[in-house]
Amino acid sequence: MSDLSNEGVVLSTGADESLLLKQDEQFDTFETLNLAPEILKAVSDLGYETPTPIQLKSIPVILDGEDMFGQAQTGTGKTAAFALPVLSKIDTQSRATQVLILEPTRELALQVSEEIAKFAKYLEDFRVVPIYGGASYETQNRALKHGAQVVVGTPGRLIDLIERGTLQLGEVQYLVIDEADEMLHMGFIDDVDWILSNTPEERQSALFSATMPPAIVKIAREHLSNPVEVKIEAKTATATTVHQRYWVASGFHKLDAMARLLEVESYDAVLIFVRTKTDAEDVSNKLMARGFACAALHGDIPQRQREKIVERLKKGSLDLIVATDVAARGLDVDRITHVINYDIPYDAESYVHRIGRTGRAGRQGEAILFVSPKERRALRMIERTTKQPIEPMVLPTIADVNKVRLENFKSEILDTIAQGGLESYEQLISELLSDDSLEPETLAAALAKLAKRGDELLLDESQPEPRQQSFNDFKEERRSSGRAPRSHDDFPRREVSSEPTPLHDFPDLKMVRFRVAVGHRDGAKPGQIVGAIANEGNIESKYIGEISIFDTFSTVDLPDGMPKDTQEVLARARVCGRPLELRVYTKEPPRRSEGSRSERFHEGGRPPRFHKEREGRFDRSDRRSLNFSGKERFRPSRSSHHR
């Protein structure tokens, strides 16, 4: 029995558990799950044949009208687990919103909406509307005005529309909280609590979460009625057929390092994981420029194009896929021999889910993880959770790459000879060799150079190799320099500057320092502020600059020229249950109407009272370790880079 039972939530135990097990044995196909005929037809069209474990256990519970708490990791088929039974029960003759689904990010809201539309394609007069920050209020208001039985949205924008009266919840019968632990991590859990409190009490609810932290248990206890727990054991033990290695990302640029690995490693197909869709496009384009057969796979890729990419991978006309976690869901290709974590995942379960794409059916697979010196703790956490060591590796040298290049080129020549059909070329070679001044070796070398079409066959081995370092090297450097690791209390008390810090990647881009009305006292974290700004303001994460968190407020550097409506949206965006009240940071407090929360805090004169005599700081170098699926969307105008 899980810890949820200790919090006053009823679980499926004893006879109920046995019933679920019997159901698992009985429900071999979707046809036996009592779904509506229109839904079954759509499922068949999509090619789904066998329900996943979470679907087998969840669908009967939801169809029976019971509340449920589903615990399963990402990629287990949770969307169908709640969408199929709910769509089987709604009344399409009514245009009122009957189903409300909460998602932590814009990308997930869009993705789940698209999947629901596919499942419901045979339902007449059906509408699903995605609601998320950064999109036009007018467009979303118009969609809601026309009526939608299902609304899928992110908490911040949903609250805005509920408070404006645009989104009516009076007839909501089914409520789904998806990725609840991610909501908690991004600081949305108070918003989720508010939304739940403003829905009808006589509703059916389902909550899905990969983990069960106390805050999620509290939500389940307060807002779910005697929920049945459906738990799919998290896959935290990696397959023994997967050989796991890590490389400390230092000395080399990561892309150069990966190119070397791909040249030396013997692989069939490779899946490369990155954090954002922009990174997926960037890494894919750079690998293609180096001659690799590669494609990107992320949330913005249309389904038809995605299917073509996967088909090319299966057929062997494509060898490398650079993907985000969300886009790789459901990707199952036998050819994948290597998984490369270009960016370290935010938790151990994501890591296990990623590398589970290789080493299947008893075959040997390879998993390679790039780790920066600052991410050592994350690496150790993965090892502890999976109970398997990940061994360090040394990158191939220039000599190693050249050796492989020569062997591959020799193999190409011998394969060409074995294929035959060289008669016309042999005649040409005989004519060239009739000139006694031309040596056969020279002729063959010239033809080899011609075959390379101007590309150098070998790398220059006279160039010095960058020094490859380990975690121990970094510890020794700190010890020899006399610098002990900095604790949280090492940050000095100092006055807050109103001058923004230039972006490392865009030093010419003019920045403005803004103030937001959440700080240490509210439990605010940098990742929560970044998430709110990126999701609600539609601003690319790479343009979000330094963040400093103080006791009662925080500062964040953003590009100059932000549209007024974007500032207004961000002012209403919530972190830790409070609106950000974003405004330009100044030494003197601006005039405000009496009673404003921000009026109580004065940033001029003395430094603010710091939490534990310190300030929290965040810059771009820290962002790699954040649990934030950065939304690469907003780009400042080109002219703003050179003001």
- Give the residue from 320, 309, 337 showing the smallest Cα distance to 284: 320
* pLDDT given for residue 239 in this prediction: 61
Is there a single domain that holds both residue 43 and residue 180? yes
Is there a single domain that holds both residue 285 and residue 223? no
Is there a single domain that holds both residue 212 and residue 349? no
pLDDT higher than 70, residue 203: yes
Are 576 and 190 contacting, i.e. CB atoms less than 8 angstroms apart? yes
Q: Which of 398, 428, 463 is the last residue of a domain?
A: 398
Is there a single domain that holds both residue 160 and residue 258? no
Confidence of residue 252 (pLDDT cuts 50, 70, 90): low
Q: State pLDDT tens for residues 160-196.
A: 999 999 999 999 999 999 988 888 877 888 899 999 9
Q: What is the mean pLDDT of residues 146-168?
A: 93
Residue 362 lies in a domain: yes
Residue 140 lies in a domain: yes
Are 96 and 147 contacting, i.e. CB atoms less than 8 angstroms apart? yes
Look up the domain containing 352 and give its range. Answer: 242-398
Is there a single domain that holds both residue 195 and residue 113? yes
Q: State pLDDT tens for residues 576-617.
A: 878 899 999 886 554 444 333 333 333 433 333 333 333 344
- How many folded domains does the chain comprise? 3
The model carries a pTM of 0.46
Is there a single domain that holds both residue 581 and residue 557? yes
Residue 455 lies in a domain: no
Averaged pLDDT score across all residues of the chain? 77
* pLDDT given for residue 189 in this prediction: 85
Which position has the higher pLDDT, 620 or 161?
A: 161
Residue 374 lies in a domain: yes
Are 298 and 111 contacting, i.e. CB atoms less than 8 angstroms apart? no
Residue 456 lies in a domain: no
The residue with tokens 């009592």 is 34
pLDDT higher than 70, residue 634: no
For 337-396, give the secondary structure using H, E and C.
EEEEECCCCCCHHHHHHHHCCCCCCCCCEEEEEEECHHHHHHHHHHHHHHCCCCEECCCC
Is there a single domain that holds both residue 165 and residue 49? yes
Q: Which of 398, 413, 431 is the last residue of a domain?
A: 398
Which position has the higher pLDDT, 504 or 133?
A: 133
Is there a single domain that holds both residue 223 and residue 246? no
Q: State pLDDT tens for residues 306-349.
A: 889 988 998 999 999 999 877 776 677 888 999 999 988 866 77
Are 321 and 297 contacting, i.e. CB atoms less than 8 angstroms apart? yes
Q: State pLDDT tens for residues 61-113.
A: 999 999 999 987 655 678 999 999 999 999 999 999 999 999 988 878 988 99
What CATH number has the domain bearing residue 564?
Answer: 3.30.70.330
pLDDT higher than 70, residue 369: yes
What percent of the chain has a predicted confidence (pLDDT) above 70? 76
* pLDDT given for residue 609 in this prediction: 34
Is there a single domain that holds both residue 199 and residue 281? no
Residue 393 lies in a domain: yes
Cα torsion 616, 620, 625, 626: sign: positive
Range with the poorest average pLDDT among 122-136, 501-515, 605-619: 605-619
Which position has the higher pLDDT, 468 or 394?
A: 394
Residue 287 lies in a domain: yes
- Which burial class, exposed, middle or buried, applies to 627 when counting CB atoms under 10 A from its CB (0-12, 13-18, 19+)? middle
Q: How far is CA 522 from the centre of its chain?
A: 26
Dihedral Cα 421, 427, 432, 434, nearest 10 deg: 140
Is there a single domain that holds both residue 285 and residue 222? no
What CATH number has the domain bearing residue 255?
Answer: 3.40.50.300
Q: Which of 176, 211, 231 is the last residue of a domain?
A: 231
Is there a single domain that holds both residue 330 and residue 197? no
In the three-class reduction of DSSP (H, G, I as helix; E, B as strand; rest coil), residue 268 is classed as coil
Residue 485 lies in a domain: no
Give me 285's structure tokens: 């384009």
Q: Tell me 283's DSSP state.
A: H
Is there a single domain that holds both residue 202 and residue 260? no
